[in-house]
Amino acid sequence: MLVVENQSGSSSTAAPGASGVKPRRFLFTHWEGGGNTPPMLALAGRLVKRGHAVRVLGDPCNRDEVEATGASFVSWRRAPRRADKSVASDPLRDWEVKSPPAMIARLRDRLFVGPSLAQAQDVLTELERFPADAIITSEMLFGPMVAAESAGIPCVALSANVYLFPRPGVPPFGPGLLPASNAMGRARDWIIRTIAMRAFGKGAATFNATRGALGLAPLRHPFDQLQRLACHLVLTSAAFDFQSTAPSPQIVYAGPELDDPAWTAPWRSPWPPEDRRPLVLVGFSTTFQNQRDPLRRAIEALAGLEVRAVVTAGPSIDPEALPSAANVHVCASAPHSALLREAAAVITHAGHGTVIRALAAGVPLVCMPMGRDQNDTAARVVYHGAGVRLHAGAASPTIRQAVSEILAAPCYRERARALGEQIVRDAQGSSAVHLLERVAATAAAGVAGGSRRR
């Protein structure tokens, strides 16, 4: 583990960049997972603006977005890659999986561990063309972490959501559990965590084959690779996430990224300014999760309320395939930041990006998680009293009742506002870029001293 506090900087002779800091070289490795892309792009763009050289190794479907930030792009070659963001190209297809063990196996074999050797080889090849001072990788790509260790380059994991891996005192990721309050709850957490760890541990042989191919010693469990990171950067507010009973200095909460994705369309309200009915925003995943039916039920629920509603269908759902209602405006996309300034409630799948932007605006939520990190994000909304959680299959009358409750009970908005104030402070005071600069400066100083592996 690299200590990132109180770094003394680099002995490099490079001239200062536009920000006054010495330019460094950052290699990001990324996979297109929907909500994990905008925060990565935001960080890459901010580093570029500060005078650093940034390259992103990722899926071809992200090339235009990456290059718009000023960073350079290169595609995975050996590792699986997505040419586009269509449903057919999704490597996980998690909507097909019905059981938690099957979902863990799919994540392990298609993302965390299965392609790790190909990913590591791609990273090492790219380092020959682009010698980097630091590698920043999605938390779910373990191959780049191994490549960084092999090359003697510090690696920072990037979480664009709540922290996913086991921590003392925090419920295990997946089921969306609230923190244990008694011995029975702690036993529940231990059982679920043990089952999940064993399931991921079945990838140890494959993962150690990757490490062996790169000349590294085997590990007991793939998650032990996380202990070899320079740090783990979590792009959310510590006030939102559950707190561990034994915090690790390696895990750094740097604050969330609150900007809308670049692909959102301009917004013009279809209602006259004097229409004062409460505004409800509906936003589900930007990637396909078979969310057409939940969107339909949400529209039917809102049609029976005295509200205005905006439904953003997202890139993966045709707005024309959704039902219409006199008080519901359906569109492909709209800037949530603008809508949230007026919104009274949000109905969402509980993706981290949508939730954290709603809370930053002080807007309470009706969460209908559909998988991935959404159950756990929704649990944190409920824990903070900033909204309610429904099953993804909730019927229209149930959704209508939940929205009515949110609109009628001021406590939800009060708690969302209180939490949102801290989220905004954390976003405005984000330490992410400065931390990455310190990691890279320390690496450059190590090279000057001859400590990096050749």
Domain ranges of the chain: 25-257+430-448, 279-427
Q: How far is CA 268 from CA 230, 306, 335, 415, 444, in A?
A: 45, 21, 10, 29, 49
pLDDT at 4: 42
CATH number of 25-257+430-448: 3.40.50.2000
Helix axes 142-151, 204-213, angle to 10 degrees: 30
Q: Do domains 25-257+430-448 and 279-427 have the same CATH topology?
A: yes
Strand boundaries in 308-445, DSSP class E? 308-312, 328-331, 343-348, 365-367, 387-389
CATH topology of domain 279-427: Rossmann fold (3.40.50)
The letter for the amino acid at 250 is Q
Q: How far from chain centre, in Å, is Cα 127?
A: 25
CA dist., res. 388 & res. 401, Å (int): 11
The CA distances from residue 203 to 196, 222, 419, in Å, are: 12, 7, 39
pTM, two decimals, is 0.90
Q: What is the pLDDT of residue 119?
A: 98
Which has the closest alpha carbon to 31: 112, 138, 184, 114? 138
- Distance, in Å, from the CA atom of 225 to the CA atom of 230, rounded to the nearest integer, reads 11
Q: How much is the pLDDT for 10?
A: 31
The pLDDT of residue 213 is: 98
Average pLDDT, 10 consecutive residues per value, the chain (454 residues)? 37 51 95 92 96 98 96 97 90 86 93 97 98 97 98 97 95 95 95 96 98 98 97 96 94 91 81 94 81 91 95 84 91 88 95 95 96 93 98 96 97 97 95 95 66 50
pLDDT of residue 443: 75
Q: 24 near 441, Cβ under 8 Å?
A: yes
